Amino acid sequence: MTLPRALTRPILLAAALAALAAAPAHAGAVADRVKASGTLRVCIWPDYYGVTWRNPRTQQLSGIDIELSAAFAKDLGVQLQYVESSFPKLIDDLLGDRCDISMHAVAVLPARAEKLKFTHPYLQSDIYGITTRSNRAIRNWDDIDQPGVQVAVQAGTFMEPVMKAALKQATMVVVKPPQTREGELEAGRVDVFMTDYPYSRRLLDNADWARLVPPTKPFHVLPYAYAVKPGDAEWLARADAFVAQIKKDGRLATAAQRAGLGEVVVR
């Protein structure tokens, strides 16, 4: 690379960013479309227990964000349409206009914040361990990072880089589909797996062999919020106003208690 080209690139980048910042935002475009269509399209991940969970037996959706997305649509005076998404597809689905908002307890990660806009948080969660009731190696949080302990994380989750950096003595096991963290734990190939509080409820509510291992002090707390695509300040403000209102009028606390997530509500 020649020196003039190396100098030119930062200048061009700065100019492009300045132009972008100066460009008028198309404020209200999403709100206008929602009003005109009479439909609010909400992206959800239907495998998120307690948040946006589809019961495999009944096919019924339940969870905090099923209740609150219905409340948001009602406040807007429109019908509600769910769009199935996932965390790997989250950014593409919003930027590609497949949905108007993602409402499935989206952790505010730096990589996501570079691409999306977030409301103020309404939940927050630390990382938790799940082990078996019969496991003698893991009795509390301090037992996790010990020689010989096998610690499972789901491939592609934020727990993977966090635990890789945190573990000094234990061995990290990255679990990829079709294997599952629960299956590896039940089979005895790992001693504990790491997850967030909402997902931990799935095991604790449905598996009598599972035991929660909470951190003894804050370990890696992340805020959870609703996500929208950038460029529409009015729509973000409307979503933010909804979050503020459900905190104020008690709908957030009530929905969280029904979903078993009262401990992780942001007041």
* pLDDT tens profile 225-239: 999 999 999 999 999
Whether the upstream peptide bond of residue 178 has omega within 30° of 0, thus cis, is: yes
**Angle value at C-alpha 238, between 234 and 244, nearest 5 degrees:** 140
What's residue 26's pLDDT?
Answer: 42
Confidence of residue 46 (pLDDT cuts 50, 70, 90): very high
Q: How far apart are CA 94 and CA 44, in angstroms?
A: 11
H-assigned helices in 156-223: 159-166, 181-186, 197-206
Average pLDDT over residues 139-143: 97
What's residue 23's pLDDT?
Answer: 37
Q: Average pLDDT, whole number, for the chain?
A: 89
Q: pLDDT tens, 174-226?
A: 999 889 999 999 999 999 999 999 989 888 888 999 999 999 999 999 999 99
Confidence of residue 62 (pLDDT cuts 50, 70, 90): very high
Task: Tell me the domains of the chain and their CATH numbers.
Answer: 24-124+222-264 (3.40.190.10), 127-213 (3.40.190.10)
Q: Which residue has the tokens 């604790």?
A: 204
Q: How far apart are CA 117 and CA 221, in angstroms?
A: 19
What's residue 225's pLDDT?
Answer: 98
Pairing, β 192-196 against β 79-84:
unpaired
52 touches 104 (CB < 8 A): yes
b (16+ CB within 10 A) / e for 205-239: eeeeebbebebeeeebebbbbbbbbebbeebbebb
Amino acid code (one letter) for 70 = A
Alpha-carbon dihedral angle through residues 250, 251, 255, 261, given to the nearest 10 degrees: -40
Q: How far apart are CA 195 and CA 131, in angstroms?
A: 11
80 touches 39 (CB < 8 A): yes
Q: How far apart are CA 185 and CA 138, in angstroms?
A: 12
In sequence order, the 6+-apart residues with CB closer than 8 A to the CB of 106 are 87, 90, 112, 118, 224, 225, 226, 227
160 touches 154 (CB < 8 A): yes
